[in-house]
Amino acid sequence: MDLGKLFKFSKDFQLNKSTFVNLRWMALLGQFVAVNVVKLVFQFDFYFLVCNFIVGTGVLTNLFLQFKIKQNQLNNNLSTIYLTYDIIQLGILIYLTGGVANPFIFLLIIPSVFSSIYLKLSSTINLAVITIFIIIILTFFHFNLPSPMHLHFHVPDYYLYAIPLAIIIGLIFMVYFGSKFGEESRKKKKKSPR
């Protein structure tokens, strides 16, 4: 991989705004449905209102991105800021709902993998480091996994530590393959006649 090329051509490292906004709407809808089904259908006990507030802040950021940011292509820096926000926002939700024992923990790696395909290597490394840091925090600090009031789900320690390790290894492999895929895709675009 030629690092000089990856850092040089900033116009090659952009996200299409409408695609990014639509992906974020899908993620936010999924978060909203998950939080409300767990509370209203299964009647599990957790920080329901706080979780909905956090999803609501995500909705506000997406509305801002959709209607206030005028350019159709988001540059590398703006894309990195939004992806960082997405990691932190999801990390807070998972912190409130079980930490690494939450089955949705794997979703934390998506922004870094997405970045590895479309953005600069430096942005991807930063996002991956933030993701790993949050996963480690969620291993040791978190509220209980939502459950009925009379039940408590306990994860054995060996399993609790295996989950973050598996996710971090998966993150590294997927970011590597995403970077290679993105590099090949950019090479093909440059070779193809315009």
Asked, for residue 194, whether it belongs to a domain, the answer is no
185 vs 99: CA distance, rounded Å: 36
121 vs 109: CA distance, rounded Å: 16
Asked, for residue 1, whether it belongs to a domain, the answer is no
172 vs 23: CA distance, rounded Å: 22
Between 28 and 146, where is the model more confident? 28
Length of the chain: 194
Number of domains observed in the structure of the chain:
1
15 vs 75: CA distance, rounded Å: 7
Task: Dump the DSSP string for 70-83.
Answer: --SEE-HHHHHHHH
For the residues 150-154, what does the mean pLDDT come to? 74
13 vs 91: CA distance, rounded Å: 26
Of 7, 12, 22, whose CA–CA distance to 66 is shortest? 22
Between 95 and 149, where is the model more confident? 95
Query: Burial code of 69-93, b = ≥16 C-beta within 10 A, e = fewer?
Result: eeeeebebebbbebbbbbbebbbbb
91, 57 in Cβ contact below 8 A?
no
User: Looking at residue 194, what is its pLDDT?
Assistant: 53
94, 153 in Cβ contact below 8 A?
no
DSSP-assigned beta bridge partners for residue 73? 16
Residues with Cβ within 8 Å of 74's Cβ and at least 6 positions away in sequence, in order, are: 14, 15, 16, 17, 20, 82
Asked, for residue 3, whether it belongs to a domain, the answer is no
What are φ and ψ of residue 119, in 5° steps? -110, 180
How many CA atoms lie within 13 Å of 56's alpha carbon, on the beta-carbon side?
7
Asked, for residue 176, whether it belongs to a domain, the answer is yes
User: Looking at residue 193, what is its pLDDT?
Assistant: 58
Asked, for residue 144, whether it belongs to a domain, the answer is yes
Q: What is the mean pLDDT of the chain?
A: 90
DSSP-assigned beta bridge partners for residue 16? 73
Asked, for residue 125, whether it belongs to a domain, the answer is yes
Asked, for residue 184, whether it belongs to a domain, the answer is yes
Asked, for residue 170, whether it belongs to a domain, the answer is yes
Tens of pLDDT along 72-93? 999 999 999 999 999 999 999 9
pTM more than 0.85: yes
Structural domain harbouring 166: 8-189
Tens of pLDDT along 159-176? 899 999 999 999 999 999
